[in-house]
A = this chain, B = another copy of it.
């Protein structure tokens, strides 16, 4: 009987954790709490926080990706920390300091490899997604930006200093690297289309952007919008725009301009400019709602209390509102019916209906910045 009770007790100690585990992971997400180095676990369906994971170091410019099963998040901290978080157990299960200053990461299409791009020392390091053991070290001699995953166990990334893009193929035993020079002066960020075909770098050192068609055996740099701001007065840049939030909207790319209060529209096939929309401030994120009909834009300091919504057909602003001080990030539900907005200095994540613009709820969070829903696990280039 004593034995039986012991065995029962052992079971019971697991039960509390397990009762909480009967949540499927498809509608969860993590919000970066930058001041505290913690992650807030949120449930989209309940529009609520359901846990907090602490001890993640410096999250002042953090991003993360998910494992294919939507159970683990790989968190890339500004301090070079790479952490593996189990969102079912709500715990950090592995953590390495892999560099001195890192700038983002990606996960291979099969979920087996996690890559991190670093400023110091400049390059890309690749880790086993299971154990976080380093499996490849790719020094580049440059600050390395715009790291994305591409189909076929590939990673693509670009050098700020040398203006080269490298394509690293990890499908064999050793990484095969293809180098593409002449991408332009000081690429500062990049994006890959959701089909993994087109890689576009934004340039800080010159007006314009550069695209690569990754379906070609030897991709050549294609200039996009060369000199788009020439003649216009350049405005000071308080915050570099992000390209990662980009998406295809009705056959056009929508991109935040640098040094101009505009978003730029580019035909996705011809890569020719199709229009510009004047905006309230310097855009930081210009994010297409998943259906592409609307583009939501937030802005750099000191105009970062405002969001504008642009209609893709007319390219006109159709809605403008002020969620609160320091709107840092927006994340759409995967099918686009809601958007979640980080309002850092209000200490809130605000939730809106994207059709009616009605506010649906809010969640307390400590200096929230990036919001990452688990549905990202199933997409290329996020």
Contact = CB atoms under 8 A, between A and B. Distances in A.
Interface in A124-172: 151-153, 171
Nearest to A377: B26
A269 interface: yes
Contacts of A153: 337
Contacts of A262: none
B109 A151 contact: no
Contact of A23 (B5, B69, B110): B69
Contacts of A179: none
22 contacts: A8-B8, A14-B18, A14-B19, A18-B22, A22-B89, A24-B71, A24-B88, A25-B25, A26-B71, A26-B374, A26-B377, A68-B335, A70-B70, A109-B335, A109-B336, A110-B335, A110-B337, A110-B338, A151-B355, A152-B337, A197-B291, A215-B313
A171 to B, nearest CB: 7
Contacts of A89: 22
Contacts of A19: 14, 18
A197 B68 CA distance: 28
Interface string A253-265: 0000000000000
A375 interface: yes
B292 A68 contact: no
A67 B23 CA distance: 13
A250 B335 contact: no
A341 B75 CA distance: 34
Interface in A60-102: 66-71, 87-89
Q: Taking the full assembly, how many copies of this chain does it contain?
A: 2
B151 A197 contact: no
Interface core residue of A153, A268, A335, A379 (most chain B CB under 10 Å): A335
A174 interface: no
Nearest to A250: B197
A234 B145 CA distance: 55
A200 to B, nearest CB: 16
Contacts of A21: 18, 21-22
Contact of A25 (B24, B248, B313, B338): B24
A195 interface: yes
Interface in A337-382: 337-338, 355, 374-375, 377-380
B355 A152 contact: yes
Most chain B beta-carbon neighbours within 10 Å: one of A71, A89, A215, A337: A337
A171 B354 CA distance: 12
Contacts of A375: 377-378
A15 interface: yes
Given A8-B9, A27-B68, A251-B269, 18 more contacts: A5-B5, A5-B8, A15-B15, A18-B18, A23-B69, A25-B26, A25-B69, A44-B69, A68-B334, A110-B337, A151-B290, A151-B337, A152-B337, A195-B248, A195-B290, A195-B291, A269-B269, A335-B380
